[in-house]
Amino acid sequence: MKTAVIVTTYNRPDALAAVLASYRAQSSQDFELLVADDGSTEATRSVVDDCRRHAGFAVHHVWHEDQGFRAAAIRNRAVAASSADYVIFTDGDCVPAADFVARHQQLAERGWFVAGNRILLGADFTQRTLAATLPLHTYSSLNWLSAWLQRDVNRLLPLLRLRDGHWRRSAPQRWAGVKTCNLAVWREDLNRINGLDEAYAGWGLEDSDLVIRLLHAGVRHKNGRFATPVFHLWHAENDRSRLMENRQRLDALLQSDRVRAERGLDQYA
């Protein structure tokens, strides 16, 4: 099974550097990494180039011009640039645990997508982490307990590790709460639904749209919690001026049985 990790980023090279450092330290190096760059400046390219020089896996930089928030479009471009069988979506401000890729690969199952979760870092802890290049992927349980006691992180429970089992398939139709900061999907299923829908403009809900259409296509939800955590670096809230419009689009999808994206992967065939 050929695996691709797609990391979406926009003009946050310090956070991206921390994320890519953790991918270089993954317990499984059997994957390719694509940085899906939503129009960043040369500083981000330099970070990707540095990772490419030191990584034990292939690293690609997929970029398009900055025309506002177009996460769906750059993710589609990255998917189209890869020939992987299995795609793990995440973000350039989400530092993976050291076994993140390996555990996603272990949980992969035909006919299912796998949705993991995240631990949120506070603003001060994020600043210290980036300033001192703290290797979060090497933190011990005691380190995280200390961080939680100091209110540097919002929770510890996702750090638990549980094996695969029937309980992971207990909510096969659940879409609420699933985010592309920690989502693994088979390439054949992405092709079937035409990838992400680029009709969504601005921040918000393009990931929910993706998951709902996967469910419409018969792909089911598998729980990746207690296996595949990421550590989400703090950032200010994104511009949500288009959220109402996106919500109306998502509500219409929920009332339908539509499977394919209006504007999706087939543009890059």
Tell me the domain boundaries of the chain.
Answer: 3-268
For the sheet with 230-232, list strands across it.
Answer: 94-96, 230-232, 118-120
Measured CA to CA, the distance from residue 246 to residue 242 in angstroms comes to: 6
| Measured CA distances, 209 to 28, 249, 258 (Å) | 30, 9, 10
pLDDT of residue 202: 80
pLDDT of residue 264: 97
Per-residue confidence band for 75, with pLDDT thresholds at 50, 70 and 90:
very high
| CATH architecture designation of domain 3-268 | Alpha-Beta Complex (3.90)
Contact 204, 243 (CB under 8 A): yes
pLDDT of residue 158: 94
Measured CA to CA, the distance from residue 25 to residue 63 in angstroms comes to: 24
pLDDT tens track for 131-165:
999 999 999 999 999 999 999 999 999 999 999 99
How many beta carbons lie within 10 A of that of residue 229, not counting itself? 26
pLDDT of residue 238: 74
Measured CA to CA, the distance from residue 168 to residue 191 in angstroms comes to: 25
Tell me the mean pLDDT in the region 229-255: 89
Give pTM, 2 decimals. 0.96
pLDDT tens track for 207-218:
999 999 999 999
Token pair for 113:
């997508």
Measured CA to CA, the distance from residue 9 to residue 210 in angstroms comes to: 19
Interacting residues of 43 by C-beta distance below 8 A, sequence separation 6+: 11, 13
Measured CA to CA, the distance from residue 47 to residue 18 in angstroms comes to: 10
Percentage, residues of the chain above pLDDT 90: 93
Is the pLDDT assigned to residue 203 strictly greater than 90? no
Average pLDDT value over all residues in the chain: 96
Tell me the mean pLDDT in the region 3-21: 98
